[in-house]
Amino acid sequence: MWGMIATWRMALEGVTKGCEMLGRGQSAGDAVEAAIREVEDFPYYKSVGYGGLPNEEMEVELDAAYMDGDTLSIGAVAAIRDYANPVSIAKRLSQEQVNNVLVGEGAEKFAHKEGFERKNMLTDRAKAFYRKRKKEVAEQELKPYSGHDTVGMVCLDQKGTMTAATSTSGLFMKKKGRVGDSPIAGSGFYADSKVGGASATGLGEDLMKGCISYEIVRLMKEGLHPQEACERAVNLLDQELKERRGKAGDLSLIAMNKAGQWGVATNIEGFSFAVAVEGQEPKVYLVRRGEDGHCSFEEASKEWMDDYMRTRMAPVEE
């Protein structure tokens, strides 16, 4: 059995590519890297890689991570600028004994030394979004926009190896140096080939409060199906945050276990994800959260898929 699950519709082309690799017997490490790179390279996704939205100083600072569920090796970069594929740098870092998580200048220096492709990640389109946002809030203090479309993936290959990886430009208008959950092991991602893996998207500051990806893997280890594990962890964190802080940020999670069973949960409307397992084509599903916290999903219609691309690629009206 092999499979791959990922946050958001934007992951579909990557998941499709990754699944072709898995079907040919390639490793979960290579497949998840290739899949995330596909998302990083697409200029119209404004929260990951090239075309990602900048921080309040109009710099694109990217976070990414990679985890190998066989060895529990992790690698991550945070607030890295001017490199095309942060996930590949994270994967390379996972091979080191120490210095697995590098930030800012240190991460850039490592990437340069290792010969990773440099690229100005700030597109004209992202600049237009920045100017538009600045204008909108000209009278107020700039606040990070709560858009949070991190790409997070969990992958299982034919040999039973599981991996997880993430990539994001983080919150639009974030402070320079701000790091979200995506490069933080246990929060944005976790993979253990003996159990399964999970990955998050949403408000990093709140996802971190529950170490939620690890929590889901822990629940799967106790025997819960990925769907139950996701729902239990998301609902509990949502409830705790509301009780203790009066509100909860966006929390959306995907997970897969070592048998290729998968699950998702969210506390928002409008969460989508892409998934494929051996024998089933990659598809996008839309999640609906019921009053009781139970999440159901249905396949995205052709109209929804067309509209999604149209909206992503529409000119930015400043």
- Name the residues annotated as catalytic: 150
CA atoms within 13 A on the CB side of 311: 9
* Contacting range for ligand GLY; rule: CB under 6 A; set: 106-114, 120-128, 180-188, 220-228: 180-188
Q: 47 vs 73, which CB is nearer to ligand GLY? A: 47
Of the candidates 264, 268, 259, the residue with the CA atom closest to the CA atom of residue 283: 264
* Contacting range for ligand GLY; rule: CB under 6 A; set: 19-27, 77-85, 197-205, 298-306: 197-205
Q: 208 vs 305, which CB is nearer to ligand GLY? A: 208
- Least distance to ligand GLY from the beta carbon of 237, Å? 14
Q: 157 vs 215, which CB is nearer to ligand GLY? A: 215
The single-letter code of the amino acid at 65 is A
Q: Which of 182, 193, 213, 257 binds ligand GLY (CB under 6 A)?
A: 182
Q: SS3 of 317, please?
A: coil
- Least distance to ligand GLY from the beta carbon of 65, Å? 11
- Least distance to ligand GLY from the beta carbon of 153, Å? 14
Q: 209 vs 258, which CB is nearer to ligand GLY? A: 209
Decide: is 181 part of the binding site for ligand GLY (CB under 6 A): yes
Q: Which of 7, 85, 88, 201 binds ligand GLY (CB under 6 A)?
A: 201
Decide: is 183 part of the binding site for ligand GLY (CB under 6 A): no
Of the candidates 289, 157, 307, 142, the residue with the CA atom closest to the CA atom of residue 230: 289
Decide: is 204 part of the binding site for ligand GLY (CB under 6 A): yes
Q: 182 vs 272, which CB is nearer to ligand GLY? A: 182
Which residue of this chain has its Cβ atom nearest to ligand GLY in the complex? 180
Question: What residues numbered 147-176 form the site for ligand GLY, per CB under 6 A?
Answer: 148, 150, 168, 170-171
Q: 184 vs 229, which CB is nearer to ligand GLY? A: 184
DSSP 8-state code for residue 177: T
DSSP string, 226-279: HHHHHHHHHHHHHHHHHHHHS----EEEEEEETTS-EEEEESSSS-EEEEEETT
DSSP 8-state code for residue 300: P
Decide: is 202 part of the binding site for ligand GLY (CB under 6 A): yes
Which residue do the tokens 């139970």 mark?
294
Q: How far apart are CA 141 and CA 134, in angstroms?
A: 10
Q: Which of 3, 51, 180, 260 binds ligand GLY (CB under 6 A)?
A: 180
Going by DSSP bridges, is the β-strand pair 295-299/280-289 parallel, antiparallel, or unpaired? antiparallel
**What are the structure tokens assigned to 58, written together?**
């109009």
Q: For residue 145, how many other CB atoms are within 10 A of its CB?
A: 16
The pattern of x and - marking residues 102 through 141 that bind ligand GLY according to CB under 6 A reads ----------------------------------------
* Contacting range for ligand GLY; rule: CB under 6 A; set: 19-27, 202-210, 254-262, 289-297: 202-210
Q: Output 129-136 pairs: Cβ under 8 A, ≥24 positions apart.
A: 129/46, 129/53, 129/172, 129/316, 130/53, 130/54, 130/58, 130/173, 131/318, 132/316, 132/317, 132/318, 133/172, 133/173, 135/318
Which residue do the tokens 């690799």 mark?
21
Q: 18 vs 188, which CB is nearer to ligand GLY? A: 188
Residues in touch with ligand GLY (CB under 6 A):
148, 150, 168, 170-171, 180-182, 201-204
